[in-house]
């Protein structure tokens, strides 16, 4: 694939087919950790690291181990194993390097394991038969889209906290409505490419 093809893939992955607003993957941390901007950005960066690493490892495992041995049917269980181990490592590293972020993310950090965006990217890499360059671009820009949207969303939620929201909509309902409006805005990017 040419450079322009890669750029359009990057743009598609990050904005047009945004992982949260268009594919509805990774909603749990999106709603759970978006109350404060600092922890939202931390979550986004952790997700970028996990998805990129797990994308590279799962793609290589599939290409060089599972596929030659005709064990493609094992992909789901192998990918889950890799992702769980990676998240465990990220958790240990974060605990050492950034205790404040570790505390802010709390239970949502181990829950990256069950963040379906991670497994989703690993499986889409295989399903769409990406080569190495495409896989790197896709596994980098999907979580960057996640980081972008969760950052925007956390800023909106910080504003909503000070706004006079009707009692019935306080908390999660208004967050879901905001997310829906954000998704509608992002869906308009669909005509760009």
Partner 1 sequence: MDILLPALVLGAIGFVLGLLINLVSKYFHVEEDSRIETIEAMLPKYNCGACGYAGCHDMAIGLLNKKAMVNQCKPIKQEAKEALMAHLDELFKAEKTSTNN
Is residue 92 left, alpha or beta, with left meaning phi > 0 and alpha meaning psi from -120 to 50? Answer: alpha
Closer of 106 and 171 to partner 1 (Cβ)? 106
Q: Report the 3 state secondary structure along 149-179.
A: HHHHHHHHHHHHHCCCCCHHHCCHHHHHHHH
Closer of 19 and 109 to partner 1 (Cβ)? 109
Distances (CA, A) of 5 to 2, 51, 148: 5, 21, 22
Q: Give the per-residue contact string, 92-121, with partner 1 (x = CB under 8 A; - = no).
A: xx-xxx-x------xx--x-----------
Contact between 71 and partner 1 per CB under 8 A? yes
Please count the residues of this chain forming the interface with partner 1, following the rule CB under 8 A: 22
Contact between 88 and partner 1 per CB under 8 A? yes
Cα–Cα distance measured from residue 82 to residue 61, given in angstroms and rounded to the nearest whole number: 10
**CB 177, min distance to partner 1, A:** 29
Contact between 171 and partner 1 per CB under 8 A? no
Dig out the tokens for 85 from the structure: 């181990």
Choose the stretch contacting partner 1; rule: CB under 8 A; options: 14-22, 39-47, 80-88, 166-174.
80-88
């Amino acid at each position: 694939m040419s450079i322009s093809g890669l750029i359009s893939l990057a743009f598609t992955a990050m904005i047009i087919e945004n992982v949260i607003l268009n594919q509805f993957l990774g909603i749990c941390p999106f709603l759970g950790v978006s109350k404060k901007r600092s922890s939202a950005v931390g979550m986004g960066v952790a997700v970028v690291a996990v998805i990129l690493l797990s994308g590279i490892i799962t793609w290589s495992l599939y290409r060089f181990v599972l596929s030659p041995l005709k064990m493609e049917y094992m992909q789901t269980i192998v990918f889950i194993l890799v992702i769980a181990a990676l998240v465990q490592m990220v958790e240990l590293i974060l605990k050492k390097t950034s205790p404040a972020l570790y505390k802010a993310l709390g239970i949502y950090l181990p829950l990256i394991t069950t963040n379906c965006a991670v497994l989703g990217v690993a499986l889409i890499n295989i399903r769409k038969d990406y080569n190495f360059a495409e896989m790197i671009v896709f596994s980098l820009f999907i979580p960057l889209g996640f980081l972008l949207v969760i950052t925007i969303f956390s800023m909106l939620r910080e504003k909503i906290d000070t706004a006079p929201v009707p009692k019935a909509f306080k908390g999660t309902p208004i967050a879901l409505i905001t997310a829906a409006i954000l998704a509608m805005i992002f869906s308009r990017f669909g005509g760009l490419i």
